[in-house]
Amino acid sequence: KNEVEQSPQNLTAQEGEFITINCSYSVGISALHWLQQHPGGGIVSLFMLSSGKKKHGRLIATINIQEKHSSLHITASHPRDSAVYICAVTGNQFYFGTGTSLTVIP
C-alpha cells in the first residue's frame, strides 16, 4: 500500500465544471504539497499545506490533519488546466502520490 493515495487516477471534465481531486496519506507529515505537471514541462508546486485551506485563483486546497486527507478543487475548469496533479507529503522523507491525469475538454 502506498503511503499516499490519490483518486481518481484519470479525470475528464467539460470546460467550466468544478473538479475535485482527493489525496489520503498514512504517515505522519509536516506538510502536504499539491504539484502540477503539464505535458513537456517540469513539476510546479501549487500549494503547500500544513493545516486549513489555501486559495490561489481558481484553485483551492484543503487539508484535514485528523483524517489525513486533502482535496484539490478547481473551479470553472479550463482546457489549460489539463495536466497531471500530484499529491506529495513531507514526512521522514518525501512521499508522492501516483498522480491524477486531468483532461478538460472545450
Partner 1 sequence: SQTIHQWPATLVQPVGSPLSLECTVEGTSNPNLYWYRQAAGRGLQLLFYSVGIGQISSEVPQNLSASRPQDRQFILSSKKLLLSDSGFYLCAWAGPSTDTQYFGPGTRLTVL
Read off the C-alpha cell for 34: 499539491
Task: Look at the block and give the residue holding cell 475538454.
Answer: 105
* Footprint (CB under 8 A) of partner 1, residues 66-105: 84, 88, 90, 93-94, 96
Q: Which of 40, 57, 66, 67 binds partner 1 (CB under 8 A)?
A: 40
Handedness of CA 94, 30, 4, 45 (dihedral sign): negative
* Ramachandran sector of residue 75 (left: φ over 0; alpha: ψ -120 to 50; beta: rest): beta
Q: Which of 23, 25, 33, 74 binds partner 1 (CB under 8 A)?
A: 33
35 part of the interface to partner 1, by CB under 8 A? yes
Q: Which of 11, 19, 23, 46 binds partner 1 (CB under 8 A)?
A: 46
* d(C-alpha 53, C-alpha 77), whole Å: 19
Q: How far is the CB of 26 from partner 1 (least distance, A)?
A: 17
Q: Which of 48, 68, 71, 73 binds partner 1 (CB under 8 A)?
A: 48
* d(C-alpha 29, C-alpha 32), whole Å: 7
Helix, strand or coil for residue 79? helix
39 part of the interface to partner 1, by CB under 8 A? yes
Residues that bind partner 1 (CB under 8 A): 31, 33, 35, 37, 39-48, 84, 88, 90, 93-94, 96
